[in-house]
Structure 1
Amino acid sequence: MTYLLDANVFIQAKNLHYGLDFCPAFWEWLIDNNVSGRVFSIDKVADEIAAGADELTDWMRNSGNGLFLKTDTAIAAQSGRVSAWATGQQYEPAAINTFLQVADFYLVAHALAGGHVVVTHEVPANSTKRIKIPNACIGLDLRFMTPYEMLRGRRRSLFWGRNHEANLRSRL
Structure 2
Amino acid sequence: MYLVDSNVLIEAKNRYYAFDIAPGFWEWLERAHRAGRVFSIEKVEEELLRGDDELAKWAQGHHSFFRQLDQRTTQYFSRLSEWARSQNFRPAALHEFTAEVADYLLVAFAAAHSCTLVTNEVPVKPP
* TM-score (structure 2 length as normaliser): 0.92
Please state whether the residue corresponding to 2:87 is helix, strand or coil: coil
Deviations along 1:89-119, whole A, 9 cap, x unmatched? 1112111111112210000000001000011
The residue identity in structure 2 corresponding to 1:97 is H
Residue in 2 that maps onto 1:37 = 36
Please state whether the residue corresponding to 1:47 is helix, strand or coil: helix
Question: 2:10 aligned with 1:24, yes or no?
Answer: no
Superposition pairs for residues 131-146 of structure 1, below 5 Å? none
Structure 1 residue 35, shift from structure 2 partner: 0.5
Residue in 2 that maps onto 1:80 = 78
The residue identity in structure 2 corresponding to 1:5 is V
> Whole-Å Cα distance in 2 between the matches of residues 93 and 122 of structure 1?
18
Residue in 1 that maps onto 2:12 = 13
The residue identity in structure 1 corresponding to 2:4 is L
> Whole-Å Cα distance in 2 between the matches of residues 77 and 13 of structure 1?
32
Greater RCO structure (CA 8 Å; 6+ sep): 2
Superposition pairs for residues 6-155 of structure 1, below 5 Å? 6-62=5-61, 64-101=62-99, 102-127=101-126
> Whole-Å Cα distance in 1 between the matches of residues 10 and 98 of structure 2?
21
> Whole-Å Cα distance in 2 between the matches of residues 27 and 99 of structure 1?
29
> Whole-Å Cα distance in 2 between the matches of residues 35 and 16 of structure 1?
25
Structure 1 residue 126, shift from structure 2 partner: 3.0
> Whole-Å Cα distance in 2 between the matches of residues 30 and 85 of structure 1?
32
The residue identity in structure 2 corresponding to 1:83 is S
Provide structure 2 residue ranges, at least 5 long, that are not aligned to the other structure. none
Residue in 2 that maps onto 1:169 = none
Between the two proteins, the alignment pairs up a number of residues equal to: 126
> Whole-Å Cα distance in 1 between the matches of residues 42 and 126 of structure 2?
28
Structure 1 residue 32, shift from structure 2 partner: 0.5
Identical counterparts, % of pairs: 44
Choose 89-98 or 102-111, whichever is displaced more.
89-98
Structure 1 residue 17, shift from structure 2 partner: 0.7
Q: RMSD in angstroms over aligned alpha carbons?
A: 1.4
**Where does structure 1 differ by over 4 angstroms across 4 or more consecutive aligned residues?**
none
> Whole-Å Cα distance in 2 between the matches of residues 97 and 7 of structure 1?
20
